[in-house]
Amino acid sequence: MTRSHAVQAVLLIVALALPGWAGPYWVHVGAIAWYYALLASSWALLAGYAGQFSFAHVAFAALGGYASALLTLQLGFPPVPGIVAGVVLAMVAGALIGWLVLRLSGPYLALFTLALSEIFRLILVAEQQLTRGSLGLRVPGLFAGESDSPYYYLGLGLLVAALLLMAGLLRTRVGLFLRAIREDEGAARAAGVNTTLYKILVFVVTSGLAGLAGTYYGPFIGILTPGIVILPEMGLVIAMAVIGGIESLPGAAVGAVLVYVLSELTREYGQWRFVLLGLALILVQRFAQNGLFAVLERPLVRPAAMEAERGRG
């Protein structure tokens, strides 16, 4: 077990213990924070590792959430098969989008996915008979009772499982290939990497996880609105990942929790909260480009590569 793992284990223990001593308000905040942590960490895999700077990530969350809710409400699916179907649908849509954007990168990919996301949001608004539009779709809960604790632990479990899944994937050659694609796609192809396959794969995996986040968020909040697909939501997920560390999956998750908790603590400042968020983003970009999690870890772990680079410097 490395020191980095020790940091993560301590954070997990704190998270597990929190409902025991914090009030219901913070349990509620924590349960929402897991939704953002799931989104930010999976987006970090897509953008930070594979270099696919997509703006459609929250649209996949909405797709998963709406699909599982509609399958439950309209076709009478039990909750778990509904959730599985929502995730699978998000993965299929992810494969399709991954294939559509194969030849796009950088700002073109960002703009294309932004447009797709906006189209999807407008469909959610317009298809009132199915989605109830801006009024929002009421989603039945997963657990009986008033307590948010079951959702809190479900969200935490899903987050940990997703982080383990992604970390496992990154430990295989797939992780190496995704980073090679991020660095130089043409060179990766010349090195024998089937870039088409791995780009689609990373869209499938991360879209599935975003979809999973949506299927968790809907029943917890009890209502889904097209508002979860708006650009500021995507911007928030990006800011969370960047502040935590876009090239570290646990870092992005920690960034999401930190940003969400701070935004709750500063709620009384209204819109000024977002000014603070912007400032935090600028400061992190200027002074800690690898994110706050790396700063937290730095005194504990020193990657060999970082040392070697410093040795040359």
Partner 1 sequence: MAEAEFFAAEGLSKHFGGISAVDDLSISLARGELVGLIGPNGSGKTTTINMVAGALRPDRGAIRLCGVTMTGSAAHVFARSGVARTFQVPRLFRRMTVLENLIVPALSNPAARRPEAERRAGEVLSFLRLEHLTRSLARALSGGQQKLLELGRALMLRPTLLLLDEPFAGVHPQLLAQIMEHISSLNADGHTIIVVDHNIDAIRSLVRRTVVMAQGRKIADGLSENVLRDPAVIRAYTGARDAH
Q: Is the dihedral of CA 292, 305, 52, 202 positive or negative?
A: negative
- Closest distance between partner 1 and the C-beta of residue 225, in Å? 39
Q: Are 174 and 182 in contact (CB under 8 A)?
A: no
**Identity of the residue, 58 or 193, whose beta carbon is nearer to partner 1 in the bound complex:** 193
* End-to-end CA gap in the chain: 30
**Identity of the residue, 132 or 179, whose beta carbon is nearer to partner 1 in the bound complex:** 179
290 in helix, strand or coil?
coil
User: What single-letter amino acid sits at 52?
Assistant: Q
- Closest distance between partner 1 and the C-beta of residue 26, in Å? 38
Question: Which 8-state DSSP code applies to residue 22?
Answer: S
**Identity of the residue, 135 or 306, whose beta carbon is nearer to partner 1 in the bound complex:** 306
**Identity of the residue, 168 or 278, whose beta carbon is nearer to partner 1 in the bound complex:** 168
Q: Which residues make Cβ contacts (< 8 Å) with residue 158, sequence separation at least 6? A: 34, 38, 212, 213, 216
- Closest distance between partner 1 and the C-beta of residue 194, in Å? 5
3-state SS, 213-226, equals: HHHHHHHHHCEECH
**Identity of the residue, 134 or 196, whose beta carbon is nearer to partner 1 in the bound complex:** 196
- Closest distance between partner 1 and the C-beta of residue 296, in Å? 21
Which residues of the chain form contacts with partner 1 (CB under 8 A)?
Answer: 173, 176-177, 179-180, 183-184, 186-196, 304-305, 308-309, 311-313
**Identity of the residue, 88 or 176, whose beta carbon is nearer to partner 1 in the bound complex:** 176
Tokens of 133: 């539009």
- Closest distance between partner 1 and the C-beta of residue 106, in Å? 16
Alpha-carbon distances of 173 from 47, 128, 197, rounded to whole Å: 18, 45, 13
Partnered with residue 137 across adjacent β-strands are 224
Number of Cβ within 10 Å of residue 288's Cβ equals 16
Separation between Cα atoms, residue 165 and residue 208, nearest integer Å: 12
- Closest distance between partner 1 and the C-beta of residue 309, in Å? 5
Separation between Cα atoms, residue 64 and residue 89, nearest integer Å: 7
**Identity of the residue, 101 or 162, whose beta carbon is nearer to partner 1 in the bound complex:** 101
Alpha-carbon distances of 68 from 2, 43, 221, 250, rounded to whole Å: 39, 21, 14, 27
- Closest distance between partner 1 and the C-beta of residue 242, in Å? 16
**Identity of the residue, 49 or 220, whose beta carbon is nearer to partner 1 in the bound complex:** 49
Q: Are 57 and 115 in contact (CB under 8 A)?
A: no
- Closest distance between partner 1 and the C-beta of residue 116, in Å? 26
Nearest to 113 by CA among 136, 96, 130: 96
- Closest distance between partner 1 and the C-beta of residue 228, in Å? 33
**Identity of the residue, 20 or 186, whose beta carbon is nearer to partner 1 in the bound complex:** 186
Query: 76: phi > 0 → left, psi -120 to 50 → alpha, else beta; which?
Result: left
User: What single-letter amino acid sits at 305?
Assistant: A
